[in-house]
Structure 1
Amino acid sequence: MNAITKGNRGIPTPLSLKIDRALGLEEGTMHLLQAWFEIRQEQNRQQDRPDMNIIRKILFWDTDIDKINWKDQYKSIIERVFERGNDAEKAEMLNFYGKEKIKAVTGSDKIAGNQLPVMRNIKTN
């Protein structure tokens, strides 16, 4: 419920109606939250960069954050955020890049609880 009300997780319409009834909410309340969630996801997809109110600049201490190409440098950005970022930053990366890119880089698209992605071993010379 917490993830749904904070806009971090979607909810299907039938379930939203059941929750409305169970909690005594006005019919459609949870569905409005779902609509807000979908709008936010689409806005993030259309932006050139993630929500910088969520991403801490300290994660990118070694570079000018305003010059990062968020689309082309996605691998190193995702790696850094999933190595050093908090759950909110990881969720923003998931919203911005989508499950497929996150999974391709980290090996998983899970963020919740103890299911954080583990970075694959990357060999460097």
Structure 2
Amino acid sequence: MSLEEHPQTFNAITKGKRGISTALVLKIEHQLGLEEGALVVLQAYYDIQKIKEKEIKSTPYLHILSKALFWDTDIEHIDWERRYRSVIQRVFERGNENDKNEIIRFYGAEKVNRALQDSNIRSPYTIYRSNKTTD
């Protein structure tokens, strides 16, 4: 059976690094004798999951963050990736523990540490995550 596709294409698809085109789905279904549209459903689930992942990663959980932190801006329109340094600095200067924990969850401890080190906020707020396990 030959689908006239590059092996790299199938490799990326099976690893979830890319979607599959409708044209390729139809070729595969035909070659495997599957009902037309069977794999399109799987592609739709893949597309939905990717959108959900992007939405989850694009903003922190806004219901957790204190409203007073961003009193001077529309929190719905913050570019969380471009403004991460100022967001982290603001939260660690003015926020409570829930605010800080949400920002650490959203950006990750490493990115928060780097942003804090680059700012004038020092040790009492620096997050240390140890890879050591206790026995």
TM-score, normalised with respect to structure 1: 0.50
Greater Rg, structure 1 or structure 2?
A: 2
TM-score, normalised with respect to structure 2: 0.46
